[in-house]
Structure 1
Amino acid sequence: MCGRFVMSRASSDLVALFDVDVTGDTLPEPSWNIAPTAPVSLLVDAAPRGDDAGGPPVRRLAAARWGLVPSWADDPRVGAKAFNARIETAAEKPTFRDAVVSRRAVIPASGYYEWADEPDGSKAPMYVTLPEGELMLFAALYEWWRDPARPASDPARWVLSTTVLTRDSSGPLAEIHPRMPVLVGAELMEDWLDPETEGDADLLEGVSGESLQHAERCSFRRVAEVGVPQ
């Protein structure tokens, strides 16, 4: 599961690191406590249009609402409960299955929080990271939702939203929670983002399996307060 995470780097760093071609007008500021429904940085490879049609994908960095709102939803508030999606069933669930096919993304993160059970029944916040400040890349899905209450001329009528895929925990992460975010590495990132690659069960299984090697490299430490890693 992933219900709080950290992005401590500026958007300009992400643009350079991931060779971004196009950026959104308003990108999220660094934050040590990103919660569901907050804006997050989303990396997407989109098929080029117009004169560039047929060319290589265009990499975009945009702000998306964390909590996926399917295109057919009547109320965007349904996204508040869809900030995570189980990778084992995402291709079957009406909320996520269309996005699996062609709207896949990654969410960069410096680390994330998980709450571990204590012997006295309380829960302790743990901060999970990769070694040496390496960024995590959460496997994600995204959707566009059109607000029918706004006129067609209003750019704000379109809402971009996203969800983080999760799987059974592995390695050291299994000590603190039974679920973990699916972590994407360079080996599969291009295929995962490729808009020409049709998402199916095999693709989901491949990225989920690759996530295990990244989980083995993760470590965690207890923090006194979420939002203030020590």
Structure 2
Amino acid sequence: MCGRYASTLPPEQMAELFKLLNQLEMVPRYNIAPTQPVVAIWEEAARREAHFARWGLVPRWVKDPREFPLLVNARVETMAEKPAFRDALKHGRCIIPASGYYEWHTGPDKKKQPYYITHADGRPMALAGLYATWVGPEGEEIDSIATITVPANQQLSEVHDRMPAILEGDAIEQWLDVRSVSARHANQLALPLEDGALKFHPVSTRVNSARDDDPGLVEPVALEKPEPPQPRKKVAGGGAQMDLF
């Protein structure tokens, strides 16, 4: 899954890169977590604009968002059939600009080591996502999003078995074009990137806390080396057979 990411692209560069008709005032973020407001891009009435939205999809048909489970990710294998996602796949596709994302690798000792993952050439990412606008009984509105995950490519499987769907080039245009591009075709755009397209390095476990949000979180750290095995002590008076145990 994708549960944390960074987004540091300046508003004017974001507008130019993604052909936006607006700019949002925002500060660089290095540890964006679920339930927080994020920047998402979608097209509505032929206008492509950036919006602030809650990370955690709330479908239109939900009665009370406070009683609805947190939907952070949508799996590409099932999103076309899941009631929570299928309408958004047809009418509410979006992209989420990111500088990189975090994933946790569980080692043999069950400890989880976070890694920061970026494009190999350092350029910004366009994460494939779904959005919905929930309207409450008093007319209040909540825009919300979920990121889409796909099976990890061989390179990223060293860290985790899933990765976000990252769109490039014409795939971005087709994904956002909900008027002309069907949900079935859009579903086929969400694919793992090829091996070598991304790079990753271990980072501080400070990223585990959403309260920490600073440039140091994306800096590489050295992994602790496991202690070398200690030689076995022979039992005094033991024979060769005892030394085997």
| TM bracket (short chain) | 0.7 to 0.9
- Which 5+ residue runs of structure 1 have no aligned equivalent? 48-56
Q: Is the aligned partner of 1:109 residue 2:71?
A: no
| Cα distance in 2 between the residues matched to 1:184 and 1:198 | 15
State the structure with more CA Rg: 2
Matching residue's letter, 1:208: A
Q: Choose between structure 1 and 2: higher helix proportion.
A: 1
Report the equivalent of 2:201.
Answer: 221
Instruction: Tell me if the contact between 1:43 and 1:60 (Cα under 8 Å) persists in the aligned partners.
Output: yes
TM-score (norm 1): 0.85
Runs of 4+ with >4 A deviation: none
Q: Identity of paired residues, percent?
A: 38
SS at match of 1:174: helix
Instruction: Tell me if the contact between 1:39 and 1:66 (Cα under 8 Å) persists in the aligned partners.
Output: yes
Matching residue's letter, 1:140: G
Alignment of 1:71-86 (within 5 A): 71-77=60-66, 81-86=70-75
Report the equivalent of 2:230.
Answer: none
Kindly report the root-mean-square deviation, in angstroms, between the aligned alpha carbons of the 2 structures: 1.7
| Cα distance in 2 between the residues matched to 1:79 and 1:163 | 14
Report the equivalent of 1:6.
Answer: 6
Number of matched pairs? 210
Alignment of 1:112-127 (within 5 A): 112-127=101-116
| Cα distance in 2 between the residues matched to 1:171 and 1:101 | 30
In 2 relative to 1, CA 79–174 (structure 1 residues): closer, same or farther, beyond 3 Å? farther
| Cα distance in 2 between the residues matched to 1:208 and 1:198 | 13
TM-score (norm 2): 0.80
Instruction: Tell me if the contact between 1:28 and 1:40 (Cα under 8 Å) persists in the aligned partners.
Output: no
| Cα distance in 2 between the residues matched to 1:79 and 1:178 | 27
In 2 relative to 1, CA 142–229 (structure 1 residues): closer, same or farther, beyond 3 Å? same
- Which 5+ residue runs of structure 2 have no aligned equivalent? 208-212, 220-245
Instruction: Tell me if the contact between 1:69 and 1:78 (Cα under 8 Å) persists in the aligned partners.
Output: no
In 2 relative to 1, CA 80–12 (structure 1 residues): closer, same or farther, beyond 3 Å? farther
Q: Is the aligned partner of 1:137 residue 2:120?
A: no
